[in-house]
Amino acid sequence: MNLIACVAFVPDTATKIVIGGDGKSINETDVKYILSPYDEYGLEEALKVKESQGGTLTVISAGPERTQQGLREALARGADDAVHIDTGDGVLDSNAVAELLAAQIRTMPHDLVFFGKMGVGGDHAQTFAIVAEKLDVPHVSVVIKMEVKDGMIHAEREIEGGHEVVEAPLPCVIAAQKGLNEPRYASLKGIMAAKKKPITVRKPADLGVDPASAIRTVVAKLELPPPRPAAKILTGDPAEAAKELARLLREEAKVI
């Protein structure tokens, strides 16, 4: 099988967010970067399919130079090779990233392309679907369970109050949800082996994509959320605090 996992290298979710000088992005000083958590579920599922069905796994990421650290981590977990689409310090949106990824994937055989259901940081849930549409393949998102059999994928997709049972022929794009699997840690052996695995660097121009004209949305301003008023804290006797809280919920908040 020809397997692809698209990953993003993003600020750790514990990062304290400081608005940068341009007012449109975060200050990157002292920010720690990690593989986007949902992408880890996609990567893990790709590794599992490779183990059970054979084939090769290529990981792809679009971003600045630091992205290669994320690709090394994915190689250490078991991917065979990697492609870094070097976007330098360009500011891209989901559509531009999707065009770059699709342009790269089109040059390779692909049976299953894995994403996370959402990109942490920007917190967008778009790239997987735009890529699928541009590759003219079906996609299944928010996948909590899947099986590949006889050229088809059988998946469960999480929706409000339950799940959908979905079938799609390969090639297909999958967007993984938490709970699909348990991502592995890279072993020491894997980390050593990763040093020898190839990372091919491509520029957008190599792929025939001009990121600036592929952008459809821009962040005009990034701000911290408005400060909240302090909580009304009730202490003392639990029974009395509970009674006062119930009264507030009825008379002040009017929710009951």
158 binds another protein (CB under 8 A): yes
Q: Which of residues 75-94 bind another protein (CB under 8 A)?
A: 93-94
Q: Which of residues 207-236 bind another protein (CB under 8 A)?
A: 213, 215-225, 228, 231-235
Q: Which of 28, 160, 172 is nearest to 91 (CA)?
A: 28
Please state the φ and ψ torsions of residue 237, each to the nearest 5 degrees: -60, 125
d(CA 9, CA 64): 9
Quick note: the x/- pattern for another protein over 29-68, rule CB under 8 A, is: --------xx------------------------------
Rounded least distance, CB 114 to another protein, Å: 15
Closer Cβ to another protein, 82 or 172, answer by number: 172
Contacting another protein (CB under 8 A), which of 141, 146, 148, 209? 141
Contacting another protein (CB under 8 A), which of 179, 200, 201, 210? 179
Closer Cβ to another protein, 16 or 196, answer by number: 16
Rounded least distance, CB 143 to another protein, Å: 11
Residue-wise over 94-104: b if at least 16 C-beta within 10 A, else e? bbbbbbbbbbb
Contacting another protein (CB under 8 A), which of 2, 95, 145, 191? 95
205 binds another protein (CB under 8 A): no
Is residue 114 a contact partner of residue 105, using CB atoms and an 8 Å limit? no
Work out whether strand 199-202 and strand 162-169 pair parallel, antiparallel, or are unpaired.
Answer: unpaired
The reply to whether omega before 171 is within 30° of 0 (cis) is yes
Q: Which of residues 96-135 bind another protein (CB under 8 A)?
A: 98, 120-134
d(CA 58, CA 131): 16
Of 55-63, 104-112, 196-204, 247-255: span binding another protein (CB under 8 A):
247-255
Rounded least distance, CB 42 to another protein, Å: 13
d(CA 94, CA 160): 25
Rounded least distance, CB 235 to another protein, Å: 5
2 binds another protein (CB under 8 A): no
Q: How far is CA 154 from CA 125, 137, 150, 182, in A?
A: 22, 15, 10, 19
d(CA 206, CA 200): 12
